[in-house]
Amino acid sequence: MATYYLDGTTLTNSTSIFQDAGLTICAADGFYSDGVISRELSGCVLLPGQTCGTCAQPCDGTISANQNQGAFILDIDLGGTSTDTGAAIITFNPASIPDGIIVTYDSSSYNKLVSPTEGVLQANNAGVPDVTVPTFIGNTGNQGNCNGGSPGSILGTYSLNESEYLNGQFTPTGNTQTITITPTGAQLTGNSPGNCKMVIPKPQASPSIMQIQVYGPCGSTAWSLSVDCPTKLDSFQGSVTLGDLQCNVNPSQSYYHVPINGTAANPALYDMIFIDIDGVTPASDGFINLVGEPHPWIQIQDGVVINTGTCVPNGYRLQECCDGDLYMASNSTYGGFGLGDVVQFREGAQGTGVQKCATVVALINSATFDSVIQSGVAYACDDTVHCPVCP
C-alpha cells in the first residue's frame, strides 16, 4: 500500500495530498480514502468529502459512548437492496446528562424523538418544529457541567472536538464544531426521558448511508444509541371520526405504528402513528376509532398518540334524508335507535327549527348538539306522512 502525505492532520481537514514528506510533489489525481471518508484529488486540490460506504457501521447494532464533551459522527449503512426498505428506527438514550441529536438521510434532516414518559421531544420555535438544529434531551437536574455561557444551563455556545465512529471506537478528526444551543433546541425534561425513538423513512433501496450526529456539550457525557435496519411497520385497523367520537364505526382503514408503550397492532400512549407502511407520512391530528369493545379510541397530535379512551354513546350523528346534511342529536329524550333507523328531528339545540327526517349513521359521544329527536318511533325517508317530501 502506497504512503501519502497530507497538509493537514486528517483527510477531512486537509486541502491536498502529496507523495513526499516535504509536501512538494502532488499525488496523482483520483479518489483517496482514510477508511471513513473518501475525497477526490483534482489538480492537487481535494474536493469535498464523501462518506465511505464500505466503512459505515451496519444497522441492527448498538453504540455506547462514555466520553468527554464533543461532537460525534456516526455513518450507518441501512442496506441498498430492494428488501432494505421500510422505517429505520433509532433508539437514543442520553442517560440523564443532556445530549443532542440530528440525523441526515437522503438530503433531509430528522430530529423528532418520542419518549415513553415525556412524549414528543423536538426542537421547535414557538411550537413549530425546527429540523435545522439538533434536539437536546436529558434531565434538567444534570446541567451543572454544561456551561456554554449561562451558569447552570445548557444554553450557550460550545466549541466541541469532533470524532467519527470507526472500527468500534470514536476517532478524533482534528476538527472542531461550534454549536450554539438556544431554547429552540433545548428540550430537557424534569425526568430522564429514557429510550427515545426516532423514525427515518426509507421507502426506496437507495441511498443506503445515513449520518447521525450526537452532541455532548457537558463534561463526562454518556449515551447509547441503536439503529434497527429498515423494516415494514406493524399495522392496525382504525377509522377516522368526524370531529366528535363515533362509537360504533367499523374500523376498516389500515394505519401503521411504532410502539412506544404499545405492542404490535395494539397502539397505546405516545406510539407514533403513520398512514403508510414505511413511516413517511404521520397520521393527521384527531381521533381514530379502534377495533373492540367498548369502542376504544386514540387521539393523535403531531403523529403521536396523546390520549386514549373508550367511547360511551350519548347521542346520534344524523344524515338528513333530502339534502344529506349532517347533524348531531342528543339521545337524552328518545333513545334506543340503531344504525340505519330514520328519525324525526328538529334543528337547533332546543329543537325549535324545521322538523325533518334523517338516518342514524353513527352513535357518538359529544359535548355539543345541534338538533333534537322528536319521536321515539323509527320511520323511513320515503314515509311522506311523517317525513317531509324532498324537493
- DSSP codes of every residue in 211-232: EEEEEE-STTEEEEEEEEEEEP
| Segment holding 317, helix H or strand E | strand 315-320
Quote the cell numbers at residue 265: 397492532
Contact 254, 240 (CB under 8 A): no
Contact 122, 109 (CB under 8 A): no
Residues 6+ positions from 29 with CB-CB distance below 8 Å? 40, 41, 42, 43
Quote the cell numbers at residue 278: 414505511
Query: Residue 153 to residues 94, 96, 157, 181, 183: CA-CA distances in angstroms?
Result: 16, 14, 11, 10, 11
State the Cα–Cα distance between residues 257 and 264, nearest whole angstrom: 8
Quote the cell numbers at residue 333: 329524550
**pLDDT above 80: residue 248:** no
Give me the amino acid identity at 34: D
Position 30 scores a pLDDT of 76
Position 36 scores a pLDDT of 60
Contact 254, 233 (CB under 8 A): no
- Under DSSP, is residue 142 helix (H, G, I), strand (E, B) or coil? helix
Burial of 176 per CB tally in 10 Å (0-12, 13-18, 19+): middle
Specify the length of the chain in residues.
391
Residue with grid cell 507523495, as numbered in its chain: 19
Render pLDDT for 307-353 as a digit per residue (tens, 0 to 9).
Answer: 999 888 889 999 999 999 999 998 888 888 988 999 999 998 888 88
**pLDDT above 80: residue 1:** no
Q: What does the domain layout of the chain look like in residue ranges?
A: 5-52, 56-231, 234-310, 315-373
State the Cα–Cα distance between residues 208 and 154, nearest whole angstrom: 34
CA atoms within 13 A on the CB side of 155: 8
**pLDDT above 70: residue 376:** yes
Higher-scoring residue by pLDDT: 171, 202: 202
Burial of 174 per CB tally in 10 Å (0-12, 13-18, 19+): middle
57-69 average pLDDT score = 87
**pLDDT above 80: residue 52:** no
**pLDDT above 90: residue 33:** no
pLDDT band at 51 (very low <50, low <70, confident <90, very high): low
Render pLDDT for 84-93 as a digit per residue (tens, 0 to 9).
Answer: 999 999 999 9
